[in-house]
Amino acid sequence: PRMYFVKADVTGAYDAIPQSKLVEVVANMIRHSESTYCIRQYAVVRRDSQGQVHKSFRRQVLYAVPGHPPGLQPIHPALQSVFRRHGEQAVC
């Protein structure tokens, strides 16, 4: 089999990128929009009938909800009653 070796010097390769354009592109990517979403990760801790504690981790993707600030959406409906009992409202 043939083998090829390449040696390259990439020092300063990105120096020619216009910084103002780069900032504009990044700002447009992170600006809040209808496609903005939040990934919520949380642990569920429960006790079984033998008294042992079990922990599992959940991940949930939330999309923008009208009337809520981006990323501040109510927690999963199944957990709302738990938080209401304790007088809390969980948000992302």
Residue-wise pLDDT for 1-16, tens only, equals 888 888 888 888 878 8
Residue 81 has pLDDT above 70, yes or no: no
Residue 60's contacts (CB-CB under 8 Å, 6 or more residues apart) are: 39, 40, 41, 42, 76
Residue-wise pLDDT for 28-79, tens only, equals 777 766 666 677 788 888 888 898 988 888 887 776 666 655 545 555 565 5
Rounded Cα distance between 79 and 75, Å, is 7
Domain borders along the chain are 34-85
pLDDT grade for 86, boundaries at 50, 70 and 90: very low
pTM: 0.34
